[in-house]
Structure 1
């Protein structure tokens, strides 16, 4: 598994399924975070049959470059979308693709899922409510609040298994 040299995403961790694989999941972290922060979560999901990848967005994590800090912009969005697509392609199987995003990563995940149709389940954690930059083309903020409000009955594994 690898990324093109030109991509701004340089650091990622792959957690192959430790049992029979039943889903693929890519984790998109939030602002001022890094992919390694989700290591325990990714490990847990791999034990439950997930092929999981967590990665560092441009300007984040161990490989951050000083002139990229704070400059995400259109190029960062584009390279992140390229990385997510390549991660999903690298799984090379027909299992359901799940995209998990936290905070800023949830906004990126939402934008990605609007543009690419191969995401079977979108999990948004800490999505800002009614941000001015969020497109409303396919999903309204009411739908998002209803669909992604976590409560005691929510179980990520049950949801994935029911795809």
Structure 2
């Protein structure tokens, strides 16, 4: 645990930005750490590889405590302020409101200075920092790596979108119910470093996207708008409810799809975790959110207090109430049928599906209902295999 300030004695791991087994370059952000005064990205001091994560998101550790095993050169974890592995120009958490004005956007002072120097508008970027904060790396990528970040305007409102990378295959990641594009942060980072173009967006009713979500059709329409803005062919990855969106999208795009990966897909069995679906749609308190997130698996309950507070504020707006009713009955009977949609896809589109054997939202037994054309994988995970088994998920995305 690095010391990020002279008075810092302990810190909380907010999230890992590099997956286990992934390589990183000098200066790449490895993880986010929260102290009593700041949330900062910790950069790599040299090239290396993250071998094993020892401290999970939400864990509070003393300065100098081991947080990971890496391959490559590291600076000694000396807790003394005069010899610390601190973040240079560590950002301070900005105001929580996101607006259209450059002056009121959540961005670090360093990101604002770099943007002014390079003539880059902040309102055209989506930040990868905590709760959408724009970091220096976001500005630099926009200027040097041709990152297209920001919004897609539609008659129903704006869709929040981020596209990273200039070349390689285009991979579109679609999050699940009650999530947002930040659920893919570590996965997207690994895929981008592997030389791919990666797109993530907030579905209607979720995150910063302004379009509301009364039914599944609106989600599919938004995904099609995003897909039409990307160069093909596309690798589409859908998680949970996002898997149903991915299949509907593949049905419309046809030959523009190179392959399809469904992670713990909804709609493949008669039942779904109603307590999670309807609970998240109705939740408005930190305690309720924390309880429900434990349904997702071991890392679901490891979010920091600040992250839980922000999520409770989002859920308290009631944006997902109608969508929850469109997805499942109060008893958990599924109202969407992914199997029928899968049967309509051309045989030329390779389809894989991964189920978590410890999933408490979507039963792994649903895999038995998949058509014979779908290659099924079982992972020792909960409902979020991209969190619990990141290396396996990246391999499935890249190697098919």
Normalised by the size of structure 2, how large is the TM-score? 0.33
Q: Please name the residue that 1:97 is paired with.
A: 234
Of 371, 376, 391, the residue aligned with 1:142 is 371
User: Deviation string for 1:48-82 (max 9, x for gaps)?
Assistant: 011101100111003457xx3x5134334223322
Of 177, 182, 187, the residue aligned with 1:31 is 177
SS in 1 for 2:265: coil
User: Deviation string for 1:23-62 (max 9, x for gaps)?
Assistant: 1101111010001221111011000011101100111003
Q: Please name the residue that 1:22 is paired with.
A: 168
Distance 1:80 1:155 in 2: 21
Unaligned runs of 5+ in 2: 1-147, 271-335, 348-368, 381-391
Q: Please name the residue that 1:114 is paired with.
A: 251
Q: Please name the residue that 1:160 is paired with.
A: 398
Count of residues in Structure 1 that have an aligned counterpart in Structure 2 = 149
SS in 2 for 1:116: helix
Q: Does 1:60 align with 2:267?
A: no
Cα shift at 1:157:
4.2
Distance 1:133 1:9, change over 3 A: farther
Of 146, 157, 161, the residue aligned with 1:12 is 161
Q: CA RMSD in A?
A: 3.1
Distance 1:156 1:148, change over 3 A: farther
Higher RCO, 1 or 2 (CA under 8 Å, sep at least 6)?
1
Of 263, 266, 280, the residue aligned with 1:125 is 263
Distance 2:176 2:249 in 1: 15
| Stretches of 4+ aligned residues off by more than 3 angstroms | 154-162
Q: Please name the residue that 2:218 is paired with.
A: 75
Distance 1:53 1:120, change over 3 A: same
| Higher Cα radius of gyration | 2
Normalised by the size of structure 1, how large is the TM-score? 0.73
